[in-house]
Structures are given as C-alpha cells and as structure tokens.
Amino acid sequence: MTGGTMDRPLTVDEYAPLAQAQLPAATWHYVEGGAGTESTVAANRAAFDRVRIRPRVLVDVARCELSTTVLGDPVGVPLGVAPMAYHELACDEGELATVRAAGSLAAPTVVSIFASRTFEDIAAAAAGPLWLQLYWLHRRDVLQKVVRRAEAAGFRALVLTVDTPRLGRRLREARHGFHLPPHIAARNLDGAVTGFLHDRHDGSSALSRHADAFIDPSLNWSDLDWLRSQTRLPLVLKGVLTAEDAAHAAELGVDGLVVSNHGGRQLDGATATLDALPEVVRAVAGRCPVFLDGGVRHGTDLLKALALGAQAVFVGRPVLWGLAADGEAGARQVLSTLRDELEDAMALSGCPSPKDLDPTLLARGPATAAQHGFHGPAEG
C-alpha cells in the first residue's frame, strides 16, 4: 500500500484481498477458514443482513458519545479485539501491533493464551484494557502459572473459552497443510509441549493435533470453582449460545458471557451469534454483561448487536487482515473504520449514545421477529 487517499481501503471488507495477497496460501486459509462446510461462518454474516434498522428522526445527534464502561473499565468505544492465536502470522510485531492499534481507540483486546508475544511485552505496549483468553489445559500447573503471569502484567479479566472440548473439523487447514513457521511460537507456554505445532502432517492440521494433546475435554461447570480460586480477576465465559447455559452461568456468578461460535471454526451448523444473542440476554436478565463476536464487518453490525443487548462487540479476522495488509496502521484503520461507521449509524438512527440503543430500533422478517424479541414491526 502506498498510503495515498485513493489507495486506502474505505471498508473493512476491502482489507481481505490485501491480506490474502500478503500471506502464504496455507496461512490465509488458516485465518479465513471455518469448520466443515463453513455454514456457520456464512450464517454469522447472514444473521446481520436479515436485521433492518428503524431509524428515529428529529433527535439531537450533534454529538454522538461512543465511550462506555466494560467490566468496570472505561473504554472509548464498545468495540474490542477478539482472541486469536499467533498474530505474528500476520505481521512481524504480532500482538504488539494489535494492542497499539486497539489502544489508539481506548478499546479492549482479548489476548490469546497462544499469543506469539509474551504477556509482559504485550502489556507494556498496550494503552487499552487487556483480557486473557484461556483454554482448559490438561496441566493445571501451567494454567495456574499463566493466570498469575497475566495478573502480574496488569490484565483486567480472564476469558475462558468453553466451546472447544476438541477442535472443529477445519478442512481448509488440513487441505493446505497449515503449520507454524519455525520462528513463531506460543511464547507464554512450554515449548516442549507445543513444539510439534511446527511439524508437517499429511491429511490433518497441526493445530488439531495440538488441541487433542493440550486441551482437556473434561471441562465442566464444577471446574469453574478451581479457576476462580486462582484469581481475583473477573471471569468471562466465551462460547455460550443458549439460554440454558447462559442462565446457569449467571446463577453461578460468572462476570460476563461472550455469545460466540468461535467465528464458525468449531461446530458447523451452530447458531449464528446474532440469532443467539436475544435469548442469552433474556436468560441472564441483567445479572452479568453479555458480549458478542462473529461475523462483524460493519458499523451497522455493531449497532444491531448493541441494540439487542450486547455491552460490547469483538472483532477477529478483520484485525488480522489489517495487520497483514499494513501492520499496526492497517489494524488501526480496521478498528477506526468500524468506530466511525458505528458513529454514523447511531447518528442516522437517532441514537446519540449506546444507552439509546434497544431492540425497538430493529426489525426483521415476520417468521422470526417474535421469536427473537424484536419490538418493532416485522418487515412485510
């Protein structure tokens, strides 16, 4: 990219082909791929497209305020970076570039346990709140050490991924033989445990072997007590899609839920996140904040999720597109574009603050309007 006005992408989607041109084919398919037929990836986008906005007029929107509070921390926008492993796959500075980009918006970043930079270096580069994403590891001693390092580095919350007892069937990774380059590693974990990620394997993804060897599929509700005993940080569960699980989590006193299907990378055919959001919000009934990720590409997507009860929305793949296309500047531009589009959408909808967003702002087709709790009229 030359950096000229005519060359700068004007939408988030325009970063995808730029990223693909920069990345090796196997890496691109690792970033972009989903599970199975990738129907859940498509469903995440289709869910946003089905929802329409009912704008209100004659509202003073001379100033739109995007700042809010997330898990007790002030943020500049109800938008954050979802956890993704190995940002160095996209750019040499990896997670350092990501957190600097997010920090320019005072936005939170959820750092993966499989980050390619150390927690301490990431924290030193960050200007926005950091949360740490965890998988439930076979080795509790490793998990305990990771949590304590994150606390010492100033991370503000733990996000336990609960939708990955095993890795989904990620066919693109298998077909393209994805493996980590030798210079990229999970810097916060034991290299002796994760070293085989760099090996080539015919017919299967190295990451699927990694998940089988490293992630404990026996995780259940009773295990949350142990994790909470190890930390004073808020505990957020990521990967909740049903009212039943949301209600039980709230009863147990978790500090937040992320409505997520892992970007369509786990269960092919799972519910789209925007479709699941209303039932989760209703089940929680204000007992803890609800967040969302999956399929977010436009500021209007943010507006729709916030109107349905998400306190903040997290974006994944597009940040890696920005990193691959133009490093920190590209990631910053992706996030800034979403922020600016959200502000435009709020102004044009007659909503000067996130507090003004609620389900009455939205409409959708007659077959699903009542099911999902939309208060506006269904479209004919």
**Tokens found for residue 338:** 């979403």
Q: How far apart are CA 182 and CA 351, in angstroms?
A: 49
Q: Is 15 annotated as a binding residue?
A: no
Q: What is the largest CA-CA distance in the chain?
A: 63
Mark whether 201 is an active-site residue.
no
Active-site hit among 210, 262, 298, 372 = 262
Query: Is the distance from CB of 159 to CB of 132 less than 8 angstroms?
Result: yes
Q: How far apart are CA 204 and CA 175, in angstroms?
A: 8
Residue with tokens 């940002």: 87
74: three-class secondary structure by DSSP: strand
Q: Is 350 annotated as a binding residue?
A: no
Q: Is 170 annotated as a binding residue?
A: yes
Q: Is 83 annotated as a binding residue?
A: yes
Q: Is 298 annotated as a binding residue?
A: no
Q: Is 297 annotated as a binding residue?
A: yes
Q: Is 260 annotated as a binding residue?
A: yes
- Residue 350: half-sphere exposure toward Cβ, Cα within 13 Å: 11
Q: Is 353 annotated as a binding residue?
A: no
Q: Is 6 annotated as a binding residue?
A: no
Region class of 293: left (phi > 0), else alpha (psi between -120 and 50), else beta: beta
Residue type at position 29: H
Alpha-carbon distances of 232 from 137, 148, 182, rounded to whole Å = 20, 10, 36
Q: Is 135 annotated as a binding residue?
A: yes
Q: Is 59 annotated as a binding residue?
A: no
Q: Is 87 annotated as a binding residue?
A: no
Q: How far apart are CA 224 and CA 222, in angstroms?
A: 5
Q: Is 150 annotated as a binding residue?
A: no
Q: How far apart are CA 258 and CA 289, in angstroms?
A: 9
Q: Is 294 annotated as a binding residue?
A: yes
Please provide the DSSP assignment of 254-298 as one string. Answer: -SEEEE--GGGTSSTTPPPHHHHHHHHHHHHTTSS-EEEESS--S
Cross-strand partners of 236: 159, 256
Dihedral sign for Cα atoms in the order 113, 117, 118, 119: negative
Binding-site residues for glyoxylate sit at: 30, 135, 170, 260, 262, 265
Task: Give the residue numbers annotated as catalytic, written as ranges.
Answer: 262
Binding-site residues sit at: 30, 83-85, 112, 133, 135, 161, 170, 238, 260, 262, 265, 293-297, 316-317
Binding-site residues for FMN sit at: 83-85, 112, 133, 161, 238, 293-297, 316-317
